[in-house]
Copies of this chain bind each other. A is one copy, B any other.
């Protein structure tokens, strides 16, 4: 690294979601200096998508003083492969659903050849927590993202775990129910994600409404349209059934974390995503279940934390943090 490189004060973060692509230009403290966004959908080719991105980016790059102020760019994207900077067979991206797209290289070529790194959103969150969040100073921890799916970013000796192919850390797809497990989007049954994602929580709600007669505020809603947010609101009003749904979800997450401890013995589990807004409603059963289930030598060692990255910009911050590592 030469002196000139060290002086570049900003990195670009791109949170590439199925609906929106959100950009931020971020300094070393995690302050977002400029931000913009485009829709992810509506582009038939990746070239068209990158053109639209760069057009939007140019505006905010100028706002911070031009490309020479930018050290690097980080992208958090579904099915992102860090090793080769590609998005591979991403079902929700029309221009990447049946192939391998070298997105990092394409952005670098359009942005004065700055380094561009890409990984999946959960790994980006893990790097974000290490750089700006609650994992500063930690060397061994696991970020679990609770969103539409359940994702994970595993950090070992201060480095994200990518495995032999770039795809390590799919903890949403460990099997929690080997018999009569719920069907999962991955084509298998019983995955953690089928129970503990936002959609999993809604499924639990429907199951409990169908199989019990317990009164609940949730009975006022169309069962097919119940979301994890509805459950959170009902629980906040003291609804017993809604509380049971969080108990069930947290209990399973705690059991899963007990198995993860047997793998990497992390100093902390950090939960990220919308569902963490439920606070102690979800965190308390996670902690209690973990301590109940974990192997004796690991008891009392791991912290259970909620992401330290700020709400709506958390994913952009995570993505940007990849830039500092390049």
**A→B interface (CB under 8 Å):** 139-140, 154, 156-157, 159, 161-171, 173-178, 186-188, 255, 258-260, 262-267, 293, 295-298, 301-302
Contacts and interface: CB of A to CB of B under 8 A. Distances in A.
A295 B265 CA distance: 23
Contact of A188 (B154, B173, B263, B293): B293
Given A156-B161, A186-B296, A301-B164, A173 B263 contact: no
Contacts of A258: 175
A interface SS class? loop
A83 to B, nearest CB: 11
A249 to B, nearest CB: 15
Copies per complex?
A: 2
A162 B168 CA distance: 18
A262 B177 contact: no
Given A163-B265, A175-B259, A187-B296, 14 more contacts: A157-B159, A165-B265, A168-B263, A169-B262, A169-B263, A171-B263, A174-B262, A175-B255, A175-B293, A176-B178, A177-B178, A188-B295, A259-B259, A263-B263
A266 B163 contact: yes
Contact of A164 (B139, B188, B295): B139
A90 B187 CA distance: 43
Contact of A173 (B159, B170, B295): B295
Nearest to A171: B262
Contacts of A161: 156, 263-264
Contacts of A265: 162-169
A167 B294 CA distance: 13
A59 to B, nearest CB: 37
Nearest to A175: B259
A150 to B, nearest CB: 11
Contacts of A293: 175, 188
Contacts of A262: 169-171, 173-174
